[in-house]
């Protein structure tokens, strides 16, 4: 007991030190902004913050806007948003040194002088990538991840790291070290996750361009919940350090940008898909940004669906897809219904079983020595249970709560032979999905996106609601999010009749999580085939414009 008490005390001391570092970071930001304002009292920060990224980038490159003005304008705004939402974990003080060096750069990259924010889990040299784990504190990264190296070579200035949920397996944003991050649009709502710090900071205007990762919607949830845009590329189109995660295939993780508008995402992809990216990581296919595809004005043939028949869409989600379908048809595009089948099998058998193929052993090992696991108590109990108990529990619960039964069954430990069969089955599913896509001769797909933002604490109870996003991690298709409407009083009224497809505890809880959301943004997903990020962005731009 004494040893356990001492170990816990030591861990709490590490947490306290990390929180003090976070507070010091905010003080450093405040002092830096104060110094700048004293030296340049006439600078109009508001006009700088109102510039969209393409225009800001152009002004920085042609010298009509000084680098310091832009940098300190965003440091000041980021400080304000961090104070309101608790989204920043660390200020990268070396960004001020990089700012001074940038002035004497010979070759100006596409993102010259642009301040960018980086998700906690993406390595920045000399800084922790905690993933919300206490054990990862005081273990600074030896070098920048590939995506950060390319950003620096393109002239961008990473200036802050942002908050994440513990382990990244959540679409909320809370951990024991840095606490809860709040939605900048409504503080009682979650900013989404796991790139929740990025969503809150970019959504609040404290960063013009952010970078996060996506393994089940981790970029798309924050963008949808905070009313901004994000792109999850094909898994290997961009690269970052993968050493922090404990799974890869079959649920494919990707790194991508998050910004206020689609043109900013396109500029970012132009900058990143360069020789530096291809040379630094030879596993990235050397496919530069295809300008011709992105700037095309040819009418598109667009598949669409309003529901996946697993998670019932909220009235606002359904209306968002219907309204966009009508607007796209009026603009001359062809809309074709696309039928999704067996999504429950995909979620349980491919996603859950694929991620926890060893019965959850790797997952449990990540939490060894951590202080608190209460937010995932049920998952821990299931992961620790022997296979026979999982089988019996699954069988008993099937008539009453079929979805819970499916999750329990999927958490069984698999033999190597079963894992190979699962991988083969997923490949077959991908081929069938693409065959259905090709049969309908589609260019892109319009899909629902979970929204509006859920109340804080609810995403942890509603892990089943990731069905709309996780499908495209299994398929490894590029998928982007664009906000298209807001929740109306009529949507709120219609929500009173929401029952869900299973009428279980999860459906009732989701209805509660949606309530009281009038005025909050609702987005749609735009999807393309693998390696067609430019076409995906082109479709997103069309949706945004309409």
> Binding site: what residues are annotated?
168, 194, 215-218
Alpha helices in 157-251 (DSSP H): 196-203, 220-226
| E strand or H helix at 157 | strand 157-162
Angle (CA) 538-539-543 rounded to 5° is: 120
| Whole-angstrom distance, CA of residue 346 vs CA of residue 464 | 12
Binding site as annotated, residues for substrate = 168, 194, 215-218
| Whole-angstrom distance, CA of residue 474 vs CA of residue 393 | 27
Contacts of 512 (CB under 8 A, 6+ apart): 455, 458
| E strand or H helix at 85 | helix 67-85
Strand, coil or helix: 478: coil
Active site residue 496: no
Is there a contact between 434 and 445 (Cβ–Cβ < 8 Å)?
no
Active-site pick, 194, 375, 385, 394: 194
Is there a contact between 512 and 500 (Cβ–Cβ < 8 Å)?
no
Backbone angles phi, psi at 410, to 5 degrees: -75, -15
Active-site pick, 25, 77, 95, 119: 119
- Kindly report whether the peptide bond that precedes residue 250 is cis, defined as omega within 30 degrees of 0: yes
Contacts of 15 (CB under 8 A, 6+ apart): 134, 137, 176, 177, 371
- Nearest CA to 479 out of 441, 530, 432, 521 is that of 530
| Whole-angstrom distance, CA of residue 81 vs CA of residue 95 | 19
Instruction: Determine the number of helices (DSSP H) and then strands (DSSP E) in the chain.
Output: 23, 13
Sign (positive or negative) of CA dihedral 210, 269, 294, 283: negative
Active site residue 362: no
Active-site pick, 218, 264, 463, 467: 218
| Whole-angstrom distance, CA of residue 449 vs CA of residue 215 | 15
Q: Which residues are catalytic?
A: 119, 194, 218
């Amino acid at each position: 007991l004494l040893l356990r008490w001492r170990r816990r005390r030591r861990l709490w001391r590490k947490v306290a030190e990390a929180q003090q570092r976070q507070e010091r970071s905010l003080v450093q930001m405040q002092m830096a902004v104060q110094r700048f304002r004293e030296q340049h009292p006439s600078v109009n920060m508001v006009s700088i913050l109102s510039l969209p990224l393409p225009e800001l980038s152009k002004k920085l490159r042609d010298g009509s806007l000084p680098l310091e003005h832009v940098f300190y304008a965003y440091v000041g705004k980021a400080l304000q948003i961090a104070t309101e939402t608790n989204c920043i974990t660390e200020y990268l003080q070396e960004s001020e040194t990089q700012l001074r060096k940038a002035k004497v750069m010979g070759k100006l990259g596409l993102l010259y002088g642009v301040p960018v924010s980086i998700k906690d889990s993406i390595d920045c040299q000399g800084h922790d990538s905690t993933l919300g784990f206490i054990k990862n504190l005081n273990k600074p990264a030896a070098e920048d991840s590939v995506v950060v190296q390319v950003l620096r070579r393109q002239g961008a200035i990473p200036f802050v790291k942002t908050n994440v949920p513990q382990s990244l397996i959540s679409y909320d944003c809370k951990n024991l070290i840095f606490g809860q991050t709040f939605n900048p649009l409504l503080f009682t709502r979650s900013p989404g996750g796991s790139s929740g710090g990025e969503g809150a900071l970019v959504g609040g205007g404290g960063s013009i361009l952010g970078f996060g990762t996506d393994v089940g919607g981790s970029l798309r949830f924050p963008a949808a919940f905070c009313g901004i845009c994000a792109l999850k590329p094909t898994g290997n189109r961009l690269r970052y350090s993968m050493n922090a995660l404990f799974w890869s295939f079959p649920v494919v993780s990707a790194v991508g940008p998050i910004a206020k508008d689609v043109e900013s995402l396109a500029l970012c992809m132009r900058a990143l898909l360069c020789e530096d990216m291809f040379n630094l990581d030879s596993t990235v296919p050397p496919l530069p940004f295809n300008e011709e595809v992105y700037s095309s004005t040819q009418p598109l043939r667009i598949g669409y669906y309003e529901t996946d028949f697993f998670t019932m869409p909220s009235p606002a989600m359904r209306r968002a897809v219907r309204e966009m379908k009508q607007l796209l048809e009026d603009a001359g595009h062809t809309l074709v219904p696309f039928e999704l089948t067996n999504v429950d099998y995909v979620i349980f058998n491919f996603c859950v079983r694929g991620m926890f193929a060893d019965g959850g052993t790797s997952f449990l090992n990540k939490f060894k020595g951590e202080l608190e696991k209460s937010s995932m108590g049920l998952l821990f109990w299931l992961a620790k249970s022997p296979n026979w108990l999982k089988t019996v529990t699954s069988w008993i619960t099937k008539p009453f709560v079929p979805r819970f039964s499916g999750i329990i069954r999927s958490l069984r430990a698999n033999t190597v032979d079963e894992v190979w069969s699962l991988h083969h089955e997923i490949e077959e599913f991908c081929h069938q999905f693409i065959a259905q896509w090709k049969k309908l001769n589609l260019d892109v797909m319009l899909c629902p996106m979970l929204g509006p933002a859920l109340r804080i604490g609810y995403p942890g109870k509603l892990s089943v609601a990731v069905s709309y996003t996780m499908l495209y991690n299994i398929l490894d298709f590029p998928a982007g999010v664009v906000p298209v409407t807001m929740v109306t009083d009529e949507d709120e009224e219609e929500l009173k009749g929401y029952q869900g497809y299973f009428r279980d505890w999860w459906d009732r809880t989701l209805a509660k999580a949606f309530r009281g959301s009038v005025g909050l943004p609702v987005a749609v997903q735009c999807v393309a085939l693998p390696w067609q990020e430019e076409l995906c962005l082109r479709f997103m731009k069309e949706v945004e414009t309409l």
